[in-house]
Structure 1
Amino acid sequence: MKTFNRREFISGMLATGIVLQIPGTVMAMFGPKAKSIKAGLITDLHQDVIHNGSERLQVFLTHMKKNRPDFIMQMGDFAYPNDKNKALIDEFNQAHPVALHVIGNHDTDSGHTKEQCLRYWKMPARYYTKEINGVCFIILDGNDKGSPTHKGGYPSYINDEQKIWLQQQLRQIEKPIVIVCHQPLAGALAVDNAAEIQDILGAASDKILLAINGHTHIDCQLFIKGINYVHINSASYFWVGDKYKHNSYPEEVHKAHPWISYTCPYQDALFTTLTIDPSLGIIHIEGKKSNWVGQSPEKLNYVDATGISAGKEIVPFISKRKIVVRS
């Protein structure tokens, strides 16, 4: 029987995906018999924008039924918390015994509230911690008001109350941690106090496996102060705005769903499976590819004010990523 060679294993991964690193101290927190943890992730479905959101969600749920993750999570901008969307929300919640939610900025559009999100989605709180198979997932609410540098638009901030709670969680938890927030904590469109949050997380980098977010509808990863920050792409589209307004579907679709004209939709639903394998010392993010429907941002000559680029971060896919223990 061939013996396991970790160096050969990692060399093989280099040929098949993007390899990132985490400190060995994090994996050392797992016990000797720790199980793998598998999470099914979907973000930015935008049921109230895209015309086929329910079909996209069904593809995700069907895939997860086959892959049998330990839990599923939607990472914000999911579906307005109301009776119109109750069937879709219930379908998500009933698809797995552990179905987690993150509040996005658009989930409280059209007069909806965070309290409705908690009630319709069956969330324990707007920010909370959930332990699964020895890993603590800290879910944040990046929609706080009160930022001293707010310049208009949606609030994007972690306020003092939540920040103190986060620091307490990082001090108290003696298990590997994954940070989850709808808004990025690093990179394009990061929360207003991103630098402060990065300092807080960096000080606990010996406990943190990675931080993940939605919101940006891009495929991107950054490494800051010992933490891997990964942007998970939208299930549905990239928003290009009024300047690049165009039709990607037949006229009747756009007439019934006018906001789609401000987007470049993905042909297929994008989502991923995050697997944490303590025995191998790796984290794996499953890749998922699609194509643009109609004109791509590149063909529209789209220019983004945040510095992200069409064809680089703005793409119709989620990259396959491998995060390995730094030896």
Structure 2
Amino acid sequence: MSGAISRRHFVKTVLVTGVALQIPGYTLSMFSQGAKTTKIGIITDLHHDVIHNGLERLKVFVDHMKSVKPDALLQMGDLAYPDVKNKAVIDLFNNAHPVRMHVIGNHDTDGGHTKEQCIEYWGMPARYYTNDVNGIRFIILDGNEKGPAYKSGYPSNINQVQADWLEAQLQMADKPVVVISHQPLAGALEVDNARQIQGLLSRYSKRILIAINGHTHIDSQYFIDGVHYMHINSASYFWMGGKFKHNSYGTQIHKEHPYICYTCPYKDALYTTLTVHPSSGIITIEGCRSEWVGPSPEELNYFNKDAMALPTEIVPWINKRHFKHKVRNI
């Protein structure tokens, strides 16, 4: 299990905090001449079955996307249990855009729900798949697999069958690639076989624009062996756990939604837009800011063993970021 980054690995890893970043590689040459700018609206970790106002948060996202006019929408897992009681949430997302992508999160199968139900209720083609949008190939992974290191709890692994499939997709890719997963492939709470997957992605880094994930509810970014990895913050809250149980809302809300007491909620929904500008070689992550409801993790003296940092990564916002390709002759 590699939830906490080893010192040896951390020395080889750059935790990026700036906003003007150079992404090495040749991926710009994979775009067709005159390729258009592509926008992807992203939301992750809504946790409608935990937070009391998940539907309202998703409506804010959908309304914002109407003005952004993205080319596709992406939700990166832990959206809402795939059953009829959550039909309003699922339909709101699915009806907001003709092109949408879903990722299965670890909590989407809580309460006896299954991956097969996620595929059916959300309208996914499979639990891992590809989708091409405007000359960009999006590779969506399922990180909810058991590996050799699995003992208990939520599995977090990309098994060998899926890893072989991923490598085949990267080998045959004739378009620049965005890799998408719920669990991180690098950094805090990364999948159990993160070194294997990072090595695989690094072999094809020339074809990869960025790898993005949800799950951690933090705002963070890493650059490892030619690949940028970014953690997209939750739409709703940071999970604190039982040692930090407290009330952020009124008594009735906590009575009806008992798991909120284990969180530090964000006042406003967080979401972002990933925009790829082939003409300039720029990738932009739109910023989105909120504030804590009730005491912050710092005020509660929060600590963790999973290499998540206060106050730079555990924050109620998504930082605006720019990634710029170096154009190199092939």
**Quick check: 21-30 or 157-166, which moved more?**
21-30
Structure 2 gaps of 5+ residues are: 1-17
Deviations 1:265-301 (A, max 9, x none): 0000000000000001100000000000000000000
Q: Deviations over 1:246-272 (max 9, x none)?
A: 000000000000000000000000000
In the TM superposition, 1:188-199 aligns within 5 A as: 188-199=188-199
Supply the distance in 2 between the matched residues of 1:222 and 1:199 (Cα, whole angstroms): 14
Correspondence for 2:140:
139
Mapped to 2, the partners of 1:217 and 1:282 lie a distance apart of 25
Q: Distance in 1 between matches of 2:53 and 2:78?
A: 15
| Map of 2:325 onto structure 1 | 325
Cα distance in 1 between the residues matched to 2:261 and 2:182:
24
- Aligned counterpart, 1:256: 256
Residue of structure 2 equivalent to 1:29: 30
Q: How does 1:1-327 map to 2 (within 5 A)?
A: 18-145=19-146, 147-327=147-327
Amino acid at match of 1:220: S
TM-score (norm 2): 0.93
Aligned to 1:7: none
Distance in 2, matches of 1:228 and 1:19, equals: 13
Runs of 4 or more above 2 Å deviation: none
Q: Distance in 1 between matches of 2:274 and 2:107?
A: 24
Distance in 1 separating the partners of 2:99 and 2:210: 21
- CA deviations on 1:211-249 (whole Å, 9 max, x unpaired) are 000000000000001000000000000000000000000
Question: Could you tell me which residue of structure 2 aligns to residue 4 of structure 1?
Answer: none
| Amino acid aligned to 2:58 | L
SS in structure 2 at match of 1:28 = helix
Q: Aligned partners of 2:317 and 2:33: how far apart in 1?
A: 36
Which letter does structure 1 place at the counterpart of 2:188? A
Conservation of the 8 A alpha-carbon contact between 2:183 and 2:190: yes
The farther-off stretch of 303-312 and 261-270 is: 303-312
- TM-score by length of structure 1 reads 0.94
Measured in 1, the distance between the counterparts of 2:264 and 2:21 equals 29
How far residue 85 of structure 1 moved from its aligned partner, in angstroms, is: 0.3
Contact 2:298 2:310 in 1 (8 A): yes
- Deviations along 1:57-77, one digit per CA (max 9) or x if unpaired, are 000000001110000010000
Which shifted more, 208-217 or 150-159? 150-159
What code does the residue aligned with 2:249 have? Y
**Secondary structure in 2 matching 1:199:** helix
Amino acid paired to 2:73 = I
Partner of 1:6: none
For residues 304 and 40 of structure 2, the distance between their equivalents in structure 1, rounded to whole angstroms, comes to 31
Residue 13 (structure 2) aligns with: none
- The 2-side partners of 1:162 and 1:135 are apart by 21
Letter in 2 for 1:21: Q
Quote how far apart the aligned CAs of 1:99 are. 1.4
Mean Cα deviation higher: 119-128 or 299-308: 299-308
- Please say if residues 25 and 226 of structure 2, whose CA atoms lie closer than 8 Å, have aligned partners that are also in contact: no
Alpha-carbon distance between aligned partners in 2 of 1:149 and 1:296, rounded to the nearest angstrom: 34
CA distance in 2 between counterparts of 1:95 and 1:166 reads: 29
Residue in structure 1 matched with residue 7 of structure 2 by the alignment = none
Q: Secondary structure at the match of 2:21?
A: strand
CA-to-partner distance for each residue in 1:142-178, whole Å, 9 max, x for gaps?
A: 0012x11124210000011111100100001111000
The amino acid of 2:102's aligned partner reads: H
Report the alpha carbon displacement of residue 24 of structure 1 after superposing the two structures with TM: 4.3
Of structures 1 and 2, the one scoring higher in RCO (CA 8 A, sep 6+) is: 2
Q: Tell me how far apart the structure 2 counterparts of residues 313 and 115 of structure 1 sit (CA, whole Å).
A: 33
Cα deviation, residue 309, structure 1: 1.9
| Aligned counterparts of 1:253 and 1:142: Cα–Cα separation in 2 | 32
Q: Please tell me the root mean square deviation across aligned C-alpha atoms, in Å.
A: 0.8
In structure 2, C-alpha distance between the alignment counterparts of 1:105 and 1:20, rounded to whole Å: 31
Per the TM alignment, residue 23 of structure 1 is displaced from its structure 2 partner at its CA by 2.2
The residue type paired with residue 229 of structure 1 is Y
SS in 1 for 2:42: strand
2:238 and 2:28 mapped to 1: Cα distance? 35
